[in-house]
Every structure is written in structure tokens, then in C-alpha cells.
Amino acid sequence: MEDLGLNAPHSMGTTIIGVTYKDGVILGADSRTSTGVYVANRASDKITQLTDNVYVCRSGSAADSQIVSDYVRYFLHQHTIQLGQPATVKVAANLVRLLSYGNKDMLQTGMIVGGWDKYEGGKIYGIPLGGTIIEQPFSIGGSGSSYLYGFLDQAWKDGMTKEEAEDLVKKAVSLAIARDGASGGVVRTVIINEEGVTRNFYPGDQLPLWHEELAPQDSLLDIWGTAASPEPMTTE
């Protein structure tokens, strides 16, 4: 029997993205989690809350990115209690960097930290495999990111409105889904600004189609569920 890698670690062959706009940041991600070539979860949430004002996009090993997020969330909670005010985006990103770099021989995860604070406004930090940290106006990661560098270099611009930035994030993730076999599912976005946090969800039929891509179709199970029950087959 062909080995489909069903016992392989859960891996988020992924597309994650964070962009700044004039009032804050927008994070986006696809939703496919795979185990070998088997899709273990087609609607996973790869954008995780660290504090009220800071979120992280996770790629790579699902277990590794989850444990790093859990530790950072715990440390930031303690930090907030001691300071009596929310942690800044820079503090959150540097905690992710410390854990990633200190355990780089054991972790297989790349992350993007984004958020808003009253000192520096909206900030995006890329923390790729190995634990370096890079402050960027936009950052991309995961297996689908290799299809997006040229697109984002051309499409991103300084001072975008919230609508322009979210449209760019949605377009970029849907393009990666079309080109990258390890990315798929729905698109989730998180908008973070002075007013708070807004989460949005875009199923496949609300995403733009790309060259040679087929329009979403109802599955046979959906069709059978809505159609009248067929007559049982009989043999003469």
C-alpha cells in the first residue's frame, strides 16, 4: 500500500502574511493543515491571539508554533500584570524571537507578529526559521510565500487604507492557494488598530479566481444531502 505519510507530524504548509496600513496592521492566513499528503484540517486558524492588541501568524510545524504561542502568551500576561499596561508589539515579537532562537535546533516554525500599541502604532515583525527578527512594512511566510514576493513588491504601497490593505491580503493569500498545493481552504484576516481587533472570514466562493483555476463546486455529499433520497437499486 502506498505510504501517504499519515503518521507524519502535523505541518502547516502554509501562506501567512502581515501588512501595515496607515492606521494599523492586517494579518492573513490560509487554513490548510496537512499530515504528509493528507489534509488533516481544512479550516484551521493560524492567526493566534497573544494579547488584546498583538496577534501571531503561525507556519511550519503546528505543534512547535502552538507551544511557542502558548509560552509567549503566558509571559506577556505576567508582563502586563507587572507593568499595569498592555505589552507593546516589539516586546511580544522579541519574546517570540527569544524562544525561537534559543530552541532553533528543535523548532521548525516561522512566525509573523503584528499588532498596534500607543507608542509606535501598527508594527509587523517577521521571525523566520532560526529565530532572527526583522521589522518590515509587510512580511510573508510559509510554503506559499515563494509565489508572492514579486506580487507584493509590486502591489504594496505606503499609506494604504484599511480596505485597500485587506483587499491586498485577501488577494495575496488566494493567489498562493491557487499556486501552492500545500496552501488551501478559507482565508482568515485580523485587523488591528487603535479601535481594537476585527476578525474576518472569507470562504472559497468569496475569493478571486486566478488563471486556469476552477470555480468552487458543491461536493457530491452536499448535492446528495439536498437532493431527494434515491431509490434503492434492485436486481431483477
Q: Residues with catalytic annotation?
A: 14
Three-class HEC string of 148-164: CHHHHHHHCCCCCCHHH
The answer to whether the beta carbons of residues 68 and 111 sit under 8 Å apart is yes
The answer to whether the beta carbons of residues 177 and 184 sit under 8 Å apart is yes
The answer to whether the beta carbons of residues 44 and 59 sit under 8 Å apart is no
Within its chain, how far is the Cα of 39 from the centroid?
A: 16
How far apart CA 106 and CA 220 sit, in angstroms, is 42
54: helix, strand or coil: strand
102: helix, strand or coil: helix
Name 50's Cβ contacts closer than 8 Å, sequence gap at least 6.
Answer: 56, 69, 72, 73, 76, 92, 113, 115
Query: Residue type for 135, please?
Result: E
